[in-house]
Amino acid sequence: MQQQAAAWKQAGVPDHEIAARNFEAVLASAKQARQMLLPQHRIYEAGTSKEEQDALMDKALASYDQVIEQLSVLIQRTRIHVVEE
């Protein structure tokens, strides 16, 4: 990500846009990680009940949903803030 940001900076991309693009990369990673917590992708470990593991993964899924929502808002605000200036 740092190399890409340096390339964008050298190409004259404004700092706020570089920040938004970096947030978009993190957002894409969060969405990808979230997919692995969906029921059809779950892998269960021995020693803990399926119900307990499901509850933990559902809690993690809710956390990812919050992160994804907040990153989306952050990206939008980063771009809107600069347009208003």
Q: How is the chain split into domains, by residue range?
A: 2-84
- Cα separations in angstroms, 11 against 2, 15, 23, 78, 83: 14, 11, 19, 20, 20
Show pLDDT as tens, one digit a residue, over the chain (85 residues): 788 889 999 999 999 899 999 999 999 999 999 999 999 989 999 999 999 999 999 999 999 999 999 999 999 998 886 655 5
74 close to 30: Cβ distance less than 8 angstroms: no
pLDDT (0 to 100) of residue 79: 87
3-state secondary structure of 36: coil
**Residue matched to tokens 């929502």:** 69
17 close to 83: Cβ distance less than 8 angstroms: no
Element (H, E) at 46: none
pTM here is 0.79
Distance CA 58, CA 45 (A): 16
pLDDT (0 to 100) of residue 82: 62
